Amino acid sequence: MSINATAQSPFNPEHHRVERVLCFTAHPDDIDFGAAGTIAAWTAAGVEVSYCIMTDGDAGGFDPAQRDEIVAMRAEEQRRAAALVGVTDIHYLHERDGYLEPTHEVMRGVVKLIREIRPDVVLSMHPERNWNRIQKSHPDHLAVGEAVTRAVYPALENPFAYPDLAEAGLEAYKLPWLWLFAGPEERDNHFVDVTAHVEEKLAAIHVHASQHPDLEAMDRTVRALMLDTGARAGLADGRSAEAFHVVTINGSGTIAGF
């Protein structure tokens, strides 16, 4: 996987190894729009990637006649889309679409799953609003970012936070890296060249047909955004990228509480 880090990312792929990643999003299809190219590159390199989707996407779709079917439909769409980029491990928190909040119940669920999987990278939607493209900042997206960011420090690594988890054998865990996407562009500090995986990303997005009635327009928009991100990353003309705000949670210079 080729990475351009001209924006001063703390993550250096030549020195920092990634073997396991856990991704948190609000709805089925969020991860495919935000990071499917990067995920395809990871899985192609042998990285184990898991998804956690916090809602069932029950408020999605356009057809009133599908209300009783939409949850099962979207779960199946996400299963098929994930398989296209090499992911089979998918978890749900079953929160209500449109009502997600960073409650302790949600944060406990985040801590529980991270302690179970113990990833090198947690990938999450960003807690800050993007004023340039407010569609990136659905309230559920912001709630995911806030819940995950609160969870990874300090609760995740505090054995006395959510003590029932420790009692069940889920020991405290110090997460190395938090990667955030769909935030303000000025926060982006890490770019992944996904040129080799553009078609896989688009194929994954296409699976979510219940959410995207105009696939041709969606294709044009997504291709243009990835090319624009490639230009922001300083890649050669015609190359595509995905952007992240990478945060070191526990590194060589970390001091607890500071």
Give tens-digit pLDDT for 57-105.
988 877 777 778 899 999 999 999 999 999 999 999 999 999 999 999 9
CB 56 within 8 A of CB 71: yes
| Strands 20-25, 48-55: pairing kind | parallel
- Whether the pTM exceeds 0.75: the reply is yes
pLDDT digits (tens, 9 = 90+) for 18-49: 999 999 999 999 999 999 999 999 999 999 99
pLDDT in tens, 134-173: 888 999 999 999 999 999 999 999 999 999 999 999 999 9
Give dist(CA 81, CA 206) in Å, integer. 8
| Selection from 154, 151, 149 nearest residue 180 by Cα | 149
The Cα 224–Cα 230 span in angstroms is 10
Give how far Cα 86 sits from Cα of 2, 48, 96, 116, 171, Å. 18, 9, 27, 20, 28
Q: What is the pLDDT of residue 59?
A: 86
How high is the pLDDT of residue 257? 56
Spatial contact of 205 and 218, defined as CB atoms under 8 Å apart: yes
